Every structure is written in C-alpha cells, then in structure tokens.
Amino acid sequence: MFQSVPIIRPITQDDLPKLLWSDQEKELSEFHQQLFEEAKLGKIFFMVADIDGNIAGRIRITPYTVDGNPWISGLQVKEDMRNKGIGTKLMEKAEAVLKLLGSTSVCLTVNIKNTDALRLYKKLGYTILSLGTQTWTYPKQGKQISVSEDVYFMMKKLE
C-alpha cells in the first residue's frame, strides 16, 4: 500500500528502463524509445505515474490525427499497483491535457476481452461506438512486429 499521491508527468529518458516491469513491457522497450522520441518532437504526449520516483503506470495522448479525432492509448499500470486509482488518474490527466488543447472529444480502443479496462472506461464516461479490428506495429531488432486485435472503438465528449 503506497501512501504518496502519484504525480502524472511527462516521461523522461531516465524513466524508460523503469517501464520494463514485465515481459510484455520488455518486448516493447524499443517501442517505448520510439514513442519517447515522438514525444520530444511534440507529436504525442507520453505521461507516467510517478510515486516517489517509482514509475507505476503510463499513458499516451495523440492530440492531432489525420481523422481529426484526439486519441488516448497505451494505458498500462504495473500489476502490483492496480486497483489504487492510478489508471483513473492517468486517464483524468490525459483528458485534462486534451481539454487545455481545446479538444471536445476523445477516442480510444480496447480489446473486447479486456473487461477490466472496459469497465474503467465505461465508469469514466466512454461509450462504445463500434466493434472492429485494429492492427498496430512495434519495432523489435530491426523488424516491425504486427499485432491485430478485436477491439471496441470508444468515445467520450469532453466538457
């Protein structure tokens, strides 16, 4: 049980090794570095939940997209830190950033089998727009690994 309140802040280079808390995160280490570079260029926001210097979670915000819809993606909380409100805080911060930028809505996707995340998003006011397949890629040792998932597309109006 942690006592300190998590601070949601932009990721730094020093944080990147602290994200490797599981085999899945280690698999994505080059992707994290790529996203960090995109964040430095201002293309995305890449935020972390910092609890006394320990990184407990991450989230990404893409304010400007080709289709005009801002997106939230990459929400992840370290397994032993879940169910303490950190995921909610990361989402609230992402929405606050988008509101400051003038966004009036935000979209995200969630794997249809991911009941924990789906429950969180519904609780935060997201509604399902449609069901579809999403393909995303990440770099690993000079190759692009492709992942396809059945997802719900969700949306929330930002007031």
Ligand X SMILES: CC(C)(COP(=O)(O)OP(=O)(O)OC[C@H]1O[C@@H](n2cnc3c(N)ncnc32)[C@H](O)[C@@H]1OP(=O)(O)O)[C@@H](O)C(=O)NCCC(=O)NCCS
In the bound state, the residue with its beta carbon closest to ligand X is 87
The footprint of ligand X on residues 95-154 (CB under 6 A) is 110, 114, 116-117, 119-120, 123
In the complex, the smallest distance separating the C-beta of residue 100 from ligand X, rounded to whole angstroms, is 22
Our CB check for ligand X shows the closer of 62 and 76 to be: 76
Residues 6+ apart with CB under 8 A from 73: 59, 60, 62, 108, 109
Burial of 74 from C-beta contacts in 10 A (0-12 / 13-18 / 19+): buried
Give the strands of the sheet with 143-157, arranged side by side.
7-10, 45-51, 54-62, 71-77, 105-111, 143-157, 127-140
Minimum Å gap between C-beta 131 and ligand X is 14
CB of residue 118 to ligand X, shortest distance in Å:
8
Residues 65-104 binding ligand X (CB under 6 A) are: 75-77, 82-88
Q: Which residues bind ligand X (CB under 6 A)?
A: 75-77, 82-88, 110, 114, 116-117, 119-120, 123
